[in-house]
Amino acid sequence: MNKLHIKNNKIIKQDIDSSIKISIKEGIYDILKIELHILKDTTLEFIDFSDTSKLDIKIYVDSNITFNLYEGRNAKKSKIQNKFYVQENSVVNVERLYQIKHAKQLDLIFLNETNAMVNINFINVALDHGKYDIISYHNACKTKFIIKNRGVTLKKGSLTYHVTGIVYNGTKGCVVDQNNRILTLNDEKNLIKPVLLIEEEDVIANHSAYIGSIKPEELFYLTSRGLSSSEATNLIVKGYIQTTNDSLQNIVDVNWG
């Protein structure tokens, strides 16, 4: 597995093989600019532990490629822009786990050729306010964008998700699927704004949004089996934020009870 690790906007580990062409530059205003050109089927682990993180990331995926991205971020303050450019018959699978206090992030997904596809599974632990704008542009027929956002808020944490899918007239057979959930462990205000801007009739487009706390019956069931309320809450939330990548699990270091 390829690995790229960052701490306080500096590269601390770079283990990249020939499947990825990488360019890293320091830009103005302390922004670290990273360009990744995906040339073959591959997997990348991208880990960021920072007090302050300012990143401008561009990922270009060639045709007929499967690219798996495991992204973990633990930061006090984060300002990120991600751009994905996906070509014909390529699939990008993104699994994210974040724990951030103050966050502002923009994801732009450009599905530029037929059968380009991006799947994002985004797990987010908010300790203060986080704002995330995610926009998919379906620039060709039979493109797919599927996103599953799962957020958890605690302490002073709150989340804002703006998720937008754009399908132009004539781009037939596209799929846009937005699933957004925020589990609240506090009384802060959260917002989910799913938007579908669809000009074409031949399309499958869905969105869902849910904001709520742990169900009382779930806590009752676990406490009736001998767990304390704190232990029950920890168990429920750990299951909620479970990922398939062991390195990502180390990103979260809070107690849920």
Domain boundaries, the chain: 2-214
pLDDT for position 241: 81
Residues of the chain with pLDDT under 70: 254-257
pLDDT at position 249: 74
Q: Which residue has the tokens 């682990």?
A: 45
Report CA torsion sign: 164, 112, 175, 79.
Answer: negative
Q: Other CB atoms closer than 10 Å to residue 227's CB: what's the count?
A: 15
Q: What pLDDT shows up at residue 235? A: 85
Cα dihedral angle (221, 188, 183, 154), rounded to 10 degrees?
Answer: -80
Determine the pLDDT at residue 254.
64
Question: 106: buried, middle or exposed (CB in 10 Å: 19+, 13-18, 0-12)?
Answer: middle
Burial of 60 (0-12, 13-18, 19+ CB in 10 A): middle
Q: Are 202 and 172 in contact (CB under 8 A)?
A: yes
pLDDT at residue 204, rounded to an integer: 97
Instruction: Decide: helix, strand or coil at residue 55.
Output: strand
Q: Give residue 255's pLDDT.
A: 59
Residue 33: per-residue pLDDT:
96
What is the distance between the terminal CA atoms of the chain, rounded to a whole angstrom?
A: 35
Instruction: Give the pLDDT of residue 95.
Output: 96
